[in-house]
A and B are shown apart, each in its own frame.
Chain A
Amino acid sequence: MEPVLTVENVSAAYRKNEVLTDVNFQIKPGTLTSIVGPNGAGKSTLLKVMLELHPTITGNVTFFGETYQTAKSRIGYVPQRGSVDWDFPTNALDVVTMGLYGKIGWFKWPKKEHKHKAMSALKEMKMQDYANRQISQLSGGQQQRVFLARALAQDADLYFLDEPLAGVDATTEKAIMETLKMLKESGKTVMVVHHDLQTVEEYFDQVLLLNKKVIAHGPTSKTFTKENIMKAYGGTLHWMGEKR
């Protein structure tokens, strides 16, 4: 099958520190991949580089065989929750409606049909009761679900999520994982930056171990081994030895 995402020889840096070195991988359609690695491994940077939010030094990224600029309407992005100011005066439904701005087009205001669509995305995340709630009044988990609902409203084919499960409650974690599995089952492709090693095997069918370069990539059952994890995390991960 044609890969939905191809990353070739990508390197990137912050100021003079190289955070990604010669990264290469391909993602197959209908997969649910976690990007795993220690702090500072370049996980979020990798997402930002692919979405042209951070410049590359070298390398090439293609989506569905096209450049990001031509393919971006088919790509959904859920940034880290901390990347926006939740004090911004708006409500949950309004934020989800933002996912439709690309479809509404320039100079036009959102109409009723768009609000309906946004509402059904909120419903998918079981957040319909909070539609009119101020976003500052939502809990961290609820905010994360609003963000995911906004991406769902975009109706993309390929989704990128940056730490969606960081600091969320159990209900949210369950709701998010159910949605991601549903997306996968309907043939969409999902990539998730993930920090909790204990849940990788349960949640994801593919894993990409990253530490500035790709340490290992493939089906979780074959790739998420003690050896590879040690390689990605260096010697710092003592507790994993007991687990396996």
Chain B
Amino acid sequence: MFSFLSYNAQSVLFSTFLLGMAAGVIGSFAYWKRQSLMSDALSHAALPGVVLGFTILGEKNLFVMIIGAAITALLGAFLIQWIRSSSRVKEDAAMGIVLSVFFGLGIMLLTFANRMPGGNQSGLDSFIFGQAASMVSKDVWTMMTVAIIVLLLTVLLFKEWKIFLFDPSFAKGLGISTAGMNVLYMATLVLVIVVGIQAVGVILMAALLIIPSVSARYWTESFKIMVLLSALFGGASGMIGTFLSTIGKGWPTGPFIVVTAASVFLISLFLGSKKGLAVVFFQQKKQRKSMELVKMTREVEQ
């Protein structure tokens, strides 16, 4: 597939496919933890870390920037929890505060970093909207490794994830540490976000986490299939979006991924076999018809 593309472009496509899969999986966990918005807050909170990682070294080193992103994203997560538990501010407001403050801080740092020697050419801007084309082979490998680890963790711990999401207090009684699962969930979520932001961008990373799982919900009543579909939708969105963005020079990747994911969502919303609008419409029509039939036979009998 895509054999007309260069080896580098092919590997970027494949890595965004894997990243999309990992994001789809973690996104469906976030969906059932009712924390979809949390992923948005975390990806925005990663920006200052990325820029700080660059500023400290003075050059673009993906590993250091990822560490920086992870630190500020986790700090953001911690702040949300802390604001919620120690004040009367509710979680949604806490997320709104952290999201905007960290993002603002990131943009501020970015303006400074861009004035630094070499800052302008560093491609730091690509972290905002994503620029898959700017990825070098080391970035591709990092992204693939993380995505594969996340997918493996999902398969190996599938039943643990399931009970943890459905009934955490019962899980605890079975000897599954909810605190441990929470840490693992948070760690994988942050990991997927920070390796994904170079390709997708901090602003739109959340879309790749949220939209595939919501779309998958329209097709199934099984958790296993929902996770699988969400992974496939995420993977397809990642790959197709990246491909589309390579058509034009300098086109950002994130928006194309989001538009692709949104198309999948629209199709699911209307045609989804479980509660898709079309299915619901025809079911109701059928029901109405049979009701009318019952009414008619009754009238005839009278």
Contact = CB atoms under 8 A, between A and B. Distances in A.
Interface stretch (A28-36, A104-112, A190-198, A234-242): A104-112
Nearest to B167: A84
A150 B174 CA distance: 12
Interface in B187-222: 217, 220-222
B291 interface: no
Q: Which of B32, B220, B225 has the most CB of A within 10 A?
A: B32
A53 B172 contact: yes
Contacts of A107: 156-157
Contact of A77 (B160, B173, B221, B225): B173
Contacts of B220: 89
Interface string B139-160: 0000000000000000011111
Interface size class of chain B, counting residues whose CB lies under 8 Å from the partner chain: 20 to 34
A34 to B, nearest CB: 21
A83 B167 contact: yes
A9 interface: no
A115 B20 CA distance: 33
Contact of A134 (B170, B175, B221): B221
Contacts of B165: 88
A101 B169 contact: no
B223 A109 contact: no
A51 B163 CA distance: 17
Given A89-B220, A90-B223, A109-B159, A102 B175 contact: yes
Contacts of B158: 109
A89 B167 contact: no
A51 B159 contact: no
Given A52-B172, A90-B166, A102-B174, A85 B32 contact: yes
Nearest to B217: A89
Contacts, number: 71
A101 B170 CA distance: 11
A77 B156 contact: no
Nearest to A76: B173
A72 interface: yes
B223 A89 contact: yes
Nearest to A52: B172
Contacts of A77: 169-170, 173
Interface string A90-125: 110001001001101011111000000000000000
B264 interface: no
A89 B267 CA distance: 20
Q: Which of B156, B167, B217, B222 has the most CB of A within 10 A?
A: B167
Contacts of A48: 169
A106 B223 contact: no
B160 A101 contact: yes
Main secondary structure of the interface of B (DSSP, over half): helix
B173 A75 contact: yes
Interface size class of chain A, counting residues whose CB lies under 8 Å from the partner chain: 20 to 34
B213 to A, nearest CB: 11
Given A77-B169, A98-B170, A134-B221, A89 B226 contact: yes
A225 interface: no
B159 A79 contact: no
A58 interface: no
Given A85-B32, A109-B158, A101 B163 contact: yes
Contacts of A88: 32, 165-166, 223
B74 interface: no
Contacts of B67: none
A72 B171 CA distance: 11
A139 interface: no
B79 interface: no
Contacts of A106: 157, 160
A89 B226 CA distance: 8
B176 interface: yes
Contacts of B166: 84-85, 88, 90, 95, 98
A83 B159 contact: no
B150 to A, nearest CB: 16
A228 interface: no
A112 to B, nearest CB: 15
B277 to A, nearest CB: 18
B12 to A, nearest CB: 32
A221 interface: no
13 contacts: A72-B175, A79-B169, A79-B170, A83-B169, A88-B165, A89-B220, A91-B222, A98-B166, A98-B170, A101-B171, A101-B176, A102-B176, A108-B159
Interface of A: 48, 51-53, 72-73, 75-77, 79, 83-85, 88-91, 95, 98, 101-102, 104, 106-110, 134, 150
Given A72-B174, A79-B169, 14 more contacts: A51-B172, A52-B172, A53-B169, A72-B173, A77-B173, A88-B165, A89-B226, A98-B163, A98-B166, A98-B174, A101-B159, A101-B174, A102-B176, A106-B157
The 8 A-B pairs with the shortest beta carbon distances in the complex, nearest first, are A102-B174, A84-B167, A89-B221, A77-B173, A89-B223, A107-B156, A88-B166, A134-B221
